[in-house]
A and B are shown apart, each in its own frame.
Chain A
């Protein structure tokens, strides 16, 4: 396990360990086949948009290479919220992760907006990937949604 130290990712990767090892699959030139859109699998409206990339192909891989995205949901006291997760898979490994929090509830939106504008002033964020830490403590708000999204991606990528 390399970098994914931010909590949500950390949790996510733990649950997605089948993507963990490449099992010595030599790259082939086989083109990735079309992925099917995600199913409504516990989470909301996953817009399964695999943009088939080049790369290692599927020789011996469990999952098809490509970029996948899905939305996971979690429940905050403000109601249902969604978290967008984009994973790049190559040779059964996650090579990139992108998370977007997109609140659907107007209260949360306002809340986040005001927080975002205020935050720059005093506390300072640094990318966790750039820190030499193995543990993260904070709101586990999004991790449930993240896991949800990863589950959908796993079924998309089969």
Chain B
């Protein structure tokens, strides 16, 4: 509980645990709205449900129509795809072509994993319409949980709950007059924290190298090849106005230098490297334990 006397509402959704804390108890119909929002999001984007909207793209070329909030998601992915030179993409690697979906494609055993298809080659995402030229897996995992955090915050605001903390297993959005102190989990020891931040009408998201969906294999592979000590990013945290942006940037920090992101996004960041050093921007200054 962020503050004494607050109420919390917990549930499971999109494969993770959620806790919504509010200064006054949530009315049952608001709880229902929250759950419906999660269910809708899952139905739209889940890669693991054959009945989800995006799963239609896996079955063949075609078009789907996404909800209105997909426009913001598209924008953040588009920007990060561009800034990262294609490293950060909603098209997950080893396109389904590789699995034989493309009739003209002959499977060739190869030691090297196939990269994700290029956005411009296979995908047209304009407004709320997504069209694919080949069967593909659209994965919005790097920003989707954050966006759902934001959407739940919207449900709370429109229902008149102005003091809240939405916590989607570590991706959080805070609103109201009572800031919440959040510990930054030690990348390899969940019993420890490396610092704390004060969350005050802002979102905080984290990403760790060992749970990321893609791009992650890279430093392990490099390490195996070179045998060099790993000097790479192992964990990142970001603070931004929206959890969607914070979530996406926390992932992007694994592939892109912060300065390139700062040119286009207003956010604070913290990176911890495998050698135990950390670099950070203003919002995290003085927040790490020494």
Q: Which residues of A contact B (CB under 8 A)?
A: 1, 5-9, 11, 14-15, 76-78, 99, 101, 107-108, 110-112, 114-116, 118-129, 131-143
B192 near A76: Cβ-Cβ < 8 Å? no
Question: Which chain B residues border A127 with CB–CB below 8 Å?
Answer: 191-192
Q: A138-B184, A139-B235 are in contact. Are A123 and B276 (CB under 8 A)?
A: yes
Interface size class on chain B is 35 or more
A139 near B208: Cβ-Cβ < 8 Å? yes
A115 near B217: Cβ-Cβ < 8 Å? no
B183 near A5: Cβ-Cβ < 8 Å? yes
Interchain CB contact (< 8 A) of B182 among A1, A122, A133, A139: A133
Question: Which chain A residues border B186 with CB–CB below 8 Å?
Answer: 119, 123, 125, 138
What is the distance, in angstroms, from A120's C-beta to the closest C-beta of chain B? 7
What is the distance, in angstroms, from A132's C-beta to the closest C-beta of chain B? 7
Compute how far the CA of A8 lies from the CA of B237 in the bound complex, rounded to whole angstroms: 17
| Stretch from B56-64, B130-138, B168-176 at the A interface | B168-176
Question: Which chain A residues border B205 with CB–CB below 8 Å?
Answer: 137
* Chain B window 206-219, contacts with chain A (Cβ cutoff 8 Å), 1 for yes, 0 for no: 11101111001100
B16 at the interface (CB under 8 A from A): yes
**In the complex, which residue of chain A has the Cβ closest to the Cβ of B224?**
A107
15 contacts between A and B (CB under 8 A): A7-B185, A8-B190, A14-B10, A77-B210, A111-B220, A114-B274, A116-B188, A119-B276, A123-B278, A125-B186, A128-B191, A134-B1, A134-B2, A137-B172, A138-B187
What is the distance, in angstroms, from A136's C-beta to the closest C-beta of chain B? 5
Question: Which chain A residues border B126 with CB–CB below 8 Å?
Answer: none
A124 near B290: Cβ-Cβ < 8 Å? yes
B288 at the interface (CB under 8 A from A): yes
Question: Which chain A residues border B277 with CB–CB below 8 Å?
Answer: 118, 121-123
* Chain B window 13-24, contacts with chain A (Cβ cutoff 8 Å), 1 for yes, 0 for no: 000110100000
What is the distance, in angstroms, from A157's C-beta to the closest C-beta of chain B? 22
A11 near B169: Cβ-Cβ < 8 Å? yes
Compute how far the CA of A34 lies from the CA of B19 in the bound complex, rounded to whole angstroms: 36
**In the complex, which residue of chain B has the Cβ closest to the Cβ of A105?**
B220
SS of B interface (majority): strand
B185 near A135: Cβ-Cβ < 8 Å? no
B256 at the interface (CB under 8 A from A): no
Q: A6-B190, A138-B208 are in contact. Are A118 and B171 (CB under 8 A)?
A: no
What is the distance, in angstroms, from B4's C-beta to the closest C-beta of chain A? 10
Question: Which chain A residues border B212 with CB–CB below 8 Å?
Answer: 77
What is the distance, in angstroms, from B216's C-beta to the closest C-beta of chain A? 4
Compute how far the CA of A8 lies from the CA of B16 in the bound complex, rounded to whole angstroms: 12
**In the complex, which residue of chain A has the Cβ closest to the Cβ of B274?**
A115
Compute how far the CA of A84 lies from the CA of B172 in the bound complex, rounded to whole angstroms: 27
Q: A111-B220, A137-B205 are in contact. Are A119 and B188 (CB under 8 A)?
A: yes
A78 near B210: Cβ-Cβ < 8 Å? yes
B188 near A112: Cβ-Cβ < 8 Å? yes
Question: Which chain A residues border B282 with CB–CB below 8 Å?
Answer: none
Question: Which chain A residues border B208 with CB–CB below 8 Å?
Answer: 138-139, 141
What is the distance, in angstroms, from A102's C-beta to the closest C-beta of chain B? 12
A124 near B194: Cβ-Cβ < 8 Å? yes
A114 near B230: Cβ-Cβ < 8 Å? yes
Compute how far the CA of A125 lies from the CA of B185 in the bound complex, rounded to whole angstroms: 9
A137 near B192: Cβ-Cβ < 8 Å? no
Counting chain A CB atoms within 10 Å of each CB, which of B185, B212, B272 scores highest? B185
Compute how far the CA of A9 lies from the CA of B216 in the bound complex, rounded to whole angstroms: 25
Question: Which chain B residues border A8 with CB–CB below 8 Å?
Answer: 190
Question: Which chain B residues border A116 with CB–CB below 8 Å?
Answer: 188
